[in-house]
Amino acid sequence: MGIIIDILSWLSENLIWINILLALLLVFFERRNPTSTWLWLMVLLFLPGLGFLLYLFLGQDLSKHKQFKSKELEDNSFHILAEDQIKVIEEDDFSFKDPNYPYYYDLIKMHLVNSKAYFSQDNSVEFYYSGEDKFNALLESINNANSYIYMEYYIYRSDNLGKQILDALTQKAKEGLEVKLLVDGMGGRTLTKRFLKPFIEAGGEVGIFMPPLIPLISIRINYRNHRKITIIDGKEAYLGGFNVGDEYLGLNKKKFGYWRDTHMKIKGSAISLLQWRFFLDWRFVTKEGIGSNQSYIYADENVPGNVGIQIVASGPDSKWPSVKDGYFKMITQAREKLYIQTPYFIPDDSVFDALRIAGLSGVDVKIMIPNKPDHPFVYWASLSYIGELLQAGVKFYTYENGFLHSKVLIIDEFISSVGTANLDIRSFELNFEVNAFIYDDIANLNLTEQFNRDLQNCKEITIEEYLNRPRIVKIKESISRLLSPIL
Q: How far apart are CA 223 and CA 59, in angstroms?
A: 10
CB contact at 8 A, 61 and 429: no
Task: Give every CB contact of residue 479 below 8 A, 6+ residues apart in sequence.
Answer: 377, 380
The distance in angstroms from the start CA to the end CA of the chain is 38
Q: How far apart are CA 134 and CA 129, in angstroms?
A: 7
- Number of Cβ within 10 Å of residue 312's Cβ equals 28
Give 61-67 contacts, CB < 8 A, sequence gap 24+: 61/30, 61/32, 61/222, 62/25, 62/29, 62/30, 64/223, 64/316, 67/220, 67/223, 67/316
DSSP tag of 78: G
Active site residues: 226, 228, 233, 405, 407, 412
What is residue 222's three-state secondary structure? Answer: coil
The H or E element that residue 391 is part of is: helix 386-391
The beta-strand segments (E) located in 70-160 are 119-130, 148-153
Q: How far apart are CA 324 and CA 483, in angstroms?
A: 20
Cα angle 130-407-331, degrees, rounded to a multiple of 5: 145
Cα separations (Å) of 413 from 96, 167, 240, 337, 473?
A: 18, 41, 21, 8, 37
CB contact at 8 A, 220 and 137: no
CB contact at 8 A, 408 and 417: yes
CB contact at 8 A, 363 and 338: yes
Cα separations (Å) of 78 from 187, 235, 286?
A: 28, 20, 20
CB contact at 8 A, 85 and 112: yes
Task: Give every CB contact of residue 51 below 8 A, 6+ residues apart in sequence.
Answer: 19, 43, 44, 45
Q: How far apart are CA 19 and CA 12, in angstroms?
A: 11
